[in-house]
Amino acid sequence: MRVLIINGPNLNFLGKREPKIYGNETLELINNKIKEFGMNHGMDIEFFQSNHEGYIIDKIQESYENVDYLIINPGALTHYGIGIRDAILSTNLKTIEVHLSNVYSREEFRHKSVISDICIGKITGFGSEGYKIALQYLSNLKK
């Protein structure tokens, strides 16, 4: 199983950015833990992070024939990234949305996602474990 994990704006600053909300783990540490989990479950995982919506769209479009699933944490683009939504729709990639923090316990504007309704599911509020929860779900699909 091939899985693409995309992280959006400011997630490259994990470990420095608002640790009370996002924790102390860096994106590199999180990716290493995810990669190990994936290897133990027979998954080939590719990672991509960008602070730019266009680069994320390009990555989705160039990857859709090479991956089975997309796990995405769009960061702030969650709330207005219509281009990302359109890329997911146009490629028909089966997608899981992940957020480190519980977006529903935060500011009202964070409650709206422009991709939730086109995703298999949404995982929010479990920190970096959310990625593993998504991968465990995908692993169970192949059984």
Question: Kind of pairing, strands 94-99 and 2-7?
Answer: unpaired
The single residue of 22, 41, 79, 80 carrying the catalytic annotation is 22
Count of other CB atoms within 10 angstroms of residue 112: 11
Encoded tokens for 80: 């207005």
The single residue of 79, 99, 111, 137 carrying the catalytic annotation is 99
99 classed as catalytic: yes
The residue with tokens 């995908």 is: 138
The residue with tokens 């991709």 is: 115
Cα separation, 65 vs 39, whole angstroms: 21
Catalytic residue ranges: 22, 99
